[in-house]
Amino acid sequence: MSDSVEGYDSDNIFAKILRGEIPCDRVYEDDHVLAFRDINPQAPVHVLVIPKGPYRSIVDLAEQGSDVEIAAWVRAQAHLARELGVADSGFRILSNCGVDGHQEVAHLHMHLFGGCDLGRMIEPAG
């Protein structure tokens, strides 16, 4: 795991959750990954799957994370889809990155949505 990633703000809310300073409704944890329910759920199943390392986005993780961390993060998402009962019915995984992506929390997170018809992916840009 990378100790420091340039530009990473360790005061972000998910860093505080990782340090145990803020509670979360945890659904999964291993050496490299934590997953918890979104505080403002957009679907019956809505969890956030985060690497424990200090990565702002998938770009940081891909460029500075280890293969073990990357594999753990991806596997946790599939594991949770199965565990939360949406692997067969269908689900969506989505990661907002940066300004154009409207990322609110600057710690890499994958949203996992499911449990209902999620509609079309995105509205066409105007």
Binders of ligand DGP among residues 26 to 55 (CB under 6 A) are 36-40, 48
Closest CB to ligand DGP among 59 and 66? 59
* Nearest approach, Cβ of residue 125 and ligand DGP (Å): 18
Q: What does residue 82 show for φ and ψ, rounded to 5 degrees?
A: -70, -50
Identify which of residues 38 and 83 has a Cβ nearer to ligand DGP in the complex. 38
Nearest approach, Cβ of 110 to ligand DGP (angstroms)?
Answer: 9
Amino acid at site 101: G
3-state DSSP assignment of residue 114: strand
Considering only residues 73 through 102, tell me which ones interact with ligand DGP, judged by CB under 6 A.
96, 102
Q: What letters, b where the CB count within 10 A reaches 16 and e where it falls short, cover 91-118?
A: bbeeeeeeeeeebebbbbbbbbbbbeee
Give the active site residues.
109
